[in-house]
Amino acid sequence: MKFLSQLQRRLAPSKPDQQVDFSDLEADLQAVLQPVEPRPDYVDNLHQRLNQAYSQQMLVMEEDLAVRRAQSLLFGALGVLSLSMALFASMRFLIAVLSSIGLLVHVSQETRQKKARRALKATV
């Protein structure tokens, strides 16, 4: 039976079989793919460069944040101002429209009264 299974495996070597033994290949890979240590001076140097760049970046970010805060405050104030101006202007416009309507009504009433008076005089 053991011989038969060995023979079957030999006859179908390319079949994707989960039982294939890769231990020799894995040992070779383990031998070849060994971790390497980066140069210590390189690691230290890069660390220093990163630290410098990091603090500069944070400084720039803080400045950006301050500028953004100032911008948002300015835009907020401008927004409130423009809103109040628009409100004021619209109220003025409404008052103007209402007063013109009132004037027109008043004028038309006056003309009607004048016409009525004239008609009365004519009849008298």
Taking CB under 8 A as the criterion, the residue among 20, 86, 98, 105 binding other proteins is: 20
Pick the closer one to other proteins by CB: 54 or 93.
54
Asked if 37 interacts with other proteins (CB under 8 A), we say: yes
Instruction: Give the span between the Cα atoms of 47 and 44, in whole angstroms.
Output: 5
**What type of residue is 119?**
A
CA distances from 58 to 44, 47, 124 (A): 21, 16, 97
Taking CB under 8 A as the criterion, the residue among 5, 6, 7, 47 binding other proteins is: 47
Taking CB under 8 A as the criterion, the residue among 5, 6, 53, 68 binding other proteins is: 53
Asked if 22 interacts with other proteins (CB under 8 A), we say: yes
Q: What is the CA radius of gyration of the chain?
A: 47
Asked if 12 interacts with other proteins (CB under 8 A), we say: no
Give the CB-side neighbour count of residue 32, counting CA atoms within 13 A: 6
Please state the length of the chain. Answer: 124
Chain residues binding other proteins by CB under 8 A are 14, 16, 18, 20, 22, 25-26, 28-39, 42-43, 46-47, 49-51, 53-55, 57-58, 61
